[in-house]
Amino acid sequence: MKDLFKEIYLSYGVNYFSDDCVLKNIIDYFDFNVDNEMHNLGNYVSTELIEGLDYIDHYAKPELQTWSITGKRIDYVRLSPHHREMLSKLQNFGIIRNSIKNDKISLINHFLSGYVISDSGIFCTFTLTEQTLYGLFKYGSEQLKAQYLNKFIDVKNPWYGATFYSELQGGSDIGNNNTLAVPTDGHYTLNGRDKYFASDAGIADASIVTAKTDLKQNGAKYISVYFVPAYFNDTLNYNIRRLKNKMGTVAVPTGEVEMNNSIGYILGDIKNGIYIAMEILTISRIDDAIAATGIARKALWEAYKYANIREAFGKKLIKHPLMRRDFIENEINLEAATILSFAAASSFEKSINSKPPYDDSYNYARILSHISKNMASSTANYITEYAMEMMGGIGFFEEFPMAKFHRDSIVTSIWEGTSNIQAIDAMESLFKKDTLEMLMNDMANKKKGFDEEISSIMDNSLEIIKGKINNMRKNNPEFYAKELLNDIGKLMAGVYLLDAGLSTNNEHFIKSGKLYFYINYGNRDYYDLIEDSDAIINWMNAE
């Protein structure tokens, strides 16, 4: 029997790790220590995984089976056998297990895996598992860790995790949660009916859950964080009411979870609950940014290969000047968003030992997570949408890859807080944690190697940002928050991109960085640079 899937996905068989020269340049810039398995992961993702995920998306979504044949409540989320096999194979690449070595935790290879896999459905399962492991490792009691930690890094049958934060009445406003936690004989008993956006429900063996010890108190400062096993003494520890019907991310079941006398264990100091919850959530926000850029990379790669095959008006699409310009401009904006997302990952890694009340390293990582998630998700939404347009009507068909890429990219701007939430949280960080000065100093230090023309563009942009900040302080700051977040993200992405080129003497990033400033700040006609920039995109045509 012939397998003709490569006739559907043109990028089938490229290695999404080893063949991605942009990712290689980013790894060099940040000096990441990369697992040996990453090459094999890239090959697996571009062959078996993308084919399996495409099939799940169309024909094999998870289903909830509430009752056993004998009438026992089981809340069993059925996955296709291939889905389970793919989860197991991804675990074997060490995406979770390799995060802990020599009693230390490191997330860089997890973040890199997120870019390579990028599918925001199946990778969500690994994001949530990483968060659960992280929360348990960093804030669990020694007794709790002794009982559960090794289950997540077990070679044969590793556990999966989840974070159940949002509720129907609150959404991102988790200070409005109605789940109650009552201390009971060395643990807590949790009750609450509306963990309404519970991704990984039915896959997770344990979850991190937000609750309050007093429902009369409203506000985020009354939130505490608990480790809740899915089973306690072989009995269901919480119930799954139903699974959601979503437009994308089909490979991760998202359900409604009810805490019903559920046994939970406090993580960290109860007074620091909201800070711990948000710290754990920062991993998701960085993963959202990185996965968004990974999806956009796959979409652009697919469209580029199509443009090198498809002919119109007597020549290949890629030979048309306007099409080539579109590809180069999208490529440059994607590179900028990608490097900014990995800047957030690198910063979080450096802050990994910081605990409440936190030091500057964590505060800086946190503001970068807001900026990068906002920028990466909007960049991915645009690129996946425009990649459809590049392929014409073919791009709009569900039977081909682009529709799934776009559907899966959209959620990256919604999960873990919409762009408005990112803007409001970022504003608090900028003005209360003094991260604004950190950002300005970071950009100023990197600017020292820039030429006079780019430095002038950057100086003008910084003055505009400072003017907007002064205006915010005079008026309602929330009104301008997202505009400021967009402006800072746009400038920082270009600064990181050009700095990566100059500091590593990488001609690709030097050219991309300069073009980024001309494209996004419009200070000159860059026709001559575009005409001489085919190498920026030609690497995607490698076999």
Q: Which residues pair with 77 in a beta bridge?
A: 64
Q: Could you tell me which residues come within 8 angstroms of residue 217 by beta carbon, excluding any fewer than 6 positions away?
A: none
Strands (E) in 362-437, as ranges, are: none
CB atoms within 10 A of CB 8: 13
3-state DSSP helix/strand/coil % of the chain, to nearest 5: 60, 15, 25
Q: Which residues pair with 266 in a beta bridge?
A: 226
DSSP annotation of 46: I
How far is 327 from 537, CA to CA, in rounded Å?
Answer: 7
Q: Could you tell me which residues come within 8 angstroms of residue 419 by beta carbon, excluding any fewer than 6 positions away?
A: 374, 377, 378, 413, 482, 485
Give the CA radius of gyration of the chain.
Answer: 23
Report pLDDT for 430.
85
For the four alpha carbons of 357, 361, 363 and 365, in that order, the dihedral sign comes to negative
Per-residue pLDDT of the chain (543 residues; tens, 9 = 90+): 788 899 999 999 999 999 999 999 999 999 999 999 999 999 999 999 999 999 999 999 999 999 999 999 999 999 999 999 999 999 999 999 999 998 999 999 999 999 999 999 999 999 999 999 999 999 999 999 999 999 999 999 999 999 999 998 877 888 889 999 999 999 999 999 999 999 999 999 999 999 999 999 989 999 999 999 999 999 999 999 999 999 999 999 999 999 999 999 999 999 999 999 999 999 999 999 999 999 999 999 999 999 999 999 999 999 999 999 999 999 999 999 999 999 999 999 999 999 999 999 999 999 999 999 999 999 999 999 999 999 999 889 999 999 999 999 999 999 988 899 998 898 888 888 889 889 999 999 998 889 999 999 999 999 999 888 888 887 888 888 999 999 999 999 999 999 999 999 999 999 999 999 999 997 778 888 888 888 999 999 866
Is there a contact between 413 and 377 (Cβ–Cβ < 8 Å)? yes
User: Minimal CA–CA distance to 333: which of 281, 285, 386?
Assistant: 386
Report pLDDT for 381.
96
Structure tokens at 367: 């503001």
Structure tokens at 356: 């409440």
Q: Which amino acid is at 105?
A: I
Structure tokens at 57: 């998306």
Angle between helices 419-432 and 360-390 (to 10 degrees): 150
How far is 200 from 163, CA to CA, in rounded Å?
Answer: 8
Q: Is the peptide bond before 401 cis (omega within 30 degrees of 0)?
A: no
CA angle 416, 283, 130 (to 5 degrees): 110
Report pLDDT for 343.
98
Report pLDDT for 543.
60
Q: Which residues pair with 183 in a beta bridge?
A: 188
**Domains observed in the chain:** 5-152 (no CATH), 161-271 (2.40.110.20), 275-541 (1.20.140.10)
Long-range residue pairs from 61-64, CB within 8 A, at least 24 positions apart, any chain: 61/250, 62/202, 62/243, 62/250, 62/251, 62/253, 63/243, 64/202, 64/240, 64/242, 64/243, 64/253, 64/255
How far is 296 from 520, CA to CA, in rounded Å?
Answer: 19
How far is 460 from 282, CA to CA, in rounded Å?
Answer: 31
Stated length of the chain: 543
Biggest alpha carbon–alpha carbon distance for the chain: 78
Structure tokens at 213: 């010890």
Q: Which amino acid is at 445?
A: N
Q: Which residue has the tokens 């043109």?
A: 10
Report pLDDT for 529.
82
